[in-house]
Chain A
């Protein structure tokens, strides 16, 4: 299955820009360890993953009365806190949970992708 993992909040981790350079380096090391752990795990592959810019760089796009409207905000609260994401191929949820334990202490949400042809 494919799982989308959203890093949606700092959780017990202080905001990234409040960390010292050493702490940031330690955090980056955890992301590298996560990459390595996924590579080493049979049946697991990181299909995609990025850190995301904050809401100040986000644009909201909505259709109103049939017209596409581009605005700055409003942003859903969870999306405001969205720091990054992964798309991971994994045999099951439990494997994803085990591997995510390597990452810094973000609050995360894990959702399986579904095949619209199989609904």
Chain B
């Protein structure tokens, strides 16, 4: 990795934190730091980077920030300029050991502030804490770069206007705020697995969300919701290399080459999961999902999978969430654990709650096929094809129908 990439990866959050702390302006601070990185990319390509790249970026960004604040003053009508000509609030904040950790924590809480719309928080967290480029974030969320840039700008401006605090909230507020943090990071992660666009590349982009989840759990220790989230995304994402064949087609879990799963990430996920006792609410939802991912990750072959354990975890997850999607997954697990008829019985109640959902029809088709009812299976595959969006999943359904 080049010097700039290294500084971005290691120091972005710390640098941004210091700028926001000293200026109270999340909007201008983030722009200034992005400009400093752009300037570095330009200059360091032509000449050797300075001896202290982080320091160079800090002072360059600081100057940009002062320039931006002066420009703001100049833009005011002359009669309104009054005695505010020189911004005073850009003195570098005192830096003490431990501050860096606090600053990244404060960034995390600021980016997922409840006064921001829920859908922009995941993007802002990736940008603020890790410095992920806007075009990468846009690709992850399947929107044009200009749209994502406008969303981020609006969110940053709102943070400045409402006077959102740049500090770690008091522990009394943690249960809610930490759940907001977890939810935002989870949405960033699942965005990488949503169908659409360059799926192989977007799955790789979800790695940033995994980094963020692990960082969050380390920054705010002792929070079950963050530990469960980190375990879940580590375990799930460990399978990414086996998820696509060379031609970009989706490889189902059962057919994946398990030697391509990343053992170190599985171990890290299991390490976090095994220390977590059952809990409640959103943390428990994430913990149960992580548990299911762990059952898959630890099976040597697909036929070794502990489907009884998975079906049990899905049942608890369904009790907790009431989600028909969870019930759909439970039907698959029960079908594996107790046979296709038992799976079909669980599936029966799902159809009316997810009308026209191609996955309901697909699961029904698979269960009917295994139960030795090819004609009914054919009808179900056909129904699945009728509603499935274009993409790898649709091609998979077509292949299953053809192979009947």
**Which A residues are closer than 8 A to B by beta carbons?**
1, 3, 90-95, 98, 110, 112, 116-119
**Alpha-carbon gap, A98 to B174, bound state (A):** 12
Besides A92-B163, A98-B173, 15 more A-B contacts (Cβ < 8 Å) are A3-B163, A92-B164, A92-B166, A93-B115, A93-B162, A93-B163, A93-B164, A94-B164, A94-B165, A94-B167, A98-B170, A112-B163, A117-B76, A117-B81, A118-B80
Residues in chain B near residue A117, CB distance under 8 A: 76, 80-82, 84
Residues in chain A near residue B165, CB distance under 8 A: 91-95
Q: B119 within 8 Å of A by Cβ?
A: no
**29 residue pairs bridging A and B, Cβ less than 8 Å apart:** A1-B163, A90-B163, A91-B165, A92-B163, A92-B164, A92-B165, A92-B166, A92-B167, A93-B115, A93-B162, A93-B163, A93-B164, A93-B165, A94-B165, A94-B167, A94-B169, A95-B165, A110-B162, A112-B162, A112-B163, A116-B80, A117-B76, A117-B81, A117-B82, A117-B84, A118-B76, A118-B80, A118-B84, A119-B80
Residues 125-172 of B at the A interface (beta carbon under 8 Å): 161-167, 169-170
1/0 contact string of B160-203 vs chain A (CB within 8 Å): 01111111011001000000000000000000000000000000
Q: Which of A94, A98, A116, A117 has the most CB of B within 10 A?
A: A94
Q: Which of A1, A90, A92 has the most CB of B within 10 A?
A: A92
**Alpha-carbon gap, A99 to B181, bound state (A):** 22
**Alpha-carbon gap, A3 to B166, bound state (A):** 17
**Alpha-carbon gap, A119 to B161, bound state (A):** 11
**Alpha-carbon gap, A8 to B170, bound state (A):** 27
Report the contact-size class of chain B (Cβ under 8 Å from the partner): 10 to 19
Residues in chain A near residue B81, CB distance under 8 A: 117
Residues in chain A near residue B162, CB distance under 8 A: 93, 110, 112
**Alpha-carbon gap, A32 to B183, bound state (A):** 36
Q: Does A119 contact B76, Cβ atoms closer than 8 Å?
A: yes
Q: How far is the CB of A90 from chain B (nearest CB, A)?
A: 8
Q: How far is the CB of A41 from chain B (nearest CB, A)?
A: 11
Residues in chain A near residue B164, CB distance under 8 A: 92-94
Q: How far is the CB of B355 from chain A (nearest CB, A)?
A: 36
Residue of B nearest to A95 (CB): B165
Q: How far is the CB of B79 from chain A (nearest CB, A)?
A: 9
Residues in chain A near residue B80, CB distance under 8 A: 116-119
Residues in chain B near residue A1, CB distance under 8 A: 163
Q: How far is the CB of B111 from chain A (nearest CB, A)?
A: 14
Q: How far is the CB of A59 from chain B (nearest CB, A)?
A: 32
**Alpha-carbon gap, A1 to B81, bound state (A):** 19
Residue of B nearest to A111 (CB): B162
Q: How far is the CB of B395 from chain A (nearest CB, A)?
A: 49
Contact A112:B169 (CB < 8 A) given known A93-B115, A117-B82, A118-B76:
no
Residue of B nearest to A110 (CB): B162
Residues in chain B near residue A98, CB distance under 8 A: 170, 173
**Alpha-carbon gap, A112 to B165, bound state (A):** 13
**Alpha-carbon gap, A90 to B162, bound state (A):** 12
**Alpha-carbon gap, A45 to B245, bound state (A):** 63
Residue of B nearest to A118 (CB): B84
Residue of B nearest to A112 (CB): B163
Q: Which of B115, B163, B165 has the most CB of A within 10 A?
A: B163
**Alpha-carbon gap, A117 to B73, bound state (A):** 10
Q: How far is the CB of B155 from chain A (nearest CB, A)?
A: 14
**Alpha-carbon gap, A95 to B165, bound state (A):** 8
Residue of A nearest to B161 (CB): A112
**Alpha-carbon gap, A90 to B76, bound state (A):** 26
Q: How far is the CB of B133 from chain A (nearest CB, A)?
A: 29
Residue of A nearest to B177 (CB): A94
Nearest 3 pairs of A and B residues by beta carbon: A94-B165, A92-B165, A1-B163
Residues in chain B near residue A3, CB distance under 8 A: 163
Residues in chain A near residue B167, CB distance under 8 A: 92, 94
1/0 contact string of B281-315 vs chain A (CB within 8 Å): 00000000000000000000000000000000000
**Alpha-carbon gap, A30 to B382, bound state (A):** 63
**Alpha-carbon gap, A98 to B84, bound state (A):** 31
**Alpha-carbon gap, A32 to B250, bound state (A):** 63
Q: How far is the CB of A42 from chain B (nearest CB, A)?
A: 13
Q: How far is the CB of A101 from chain B (nearest CB, A)?
A: 9
**Alpha-carbon gap, A51 to B12, bound state (A):** 47
Residues in chain A near residue B82, CB distance under 8 A: 117
Q: How far is the CB of B113 from chain A (nearest CB, A)?
A: 8
Residue of B nearest to A96 (CB): B163
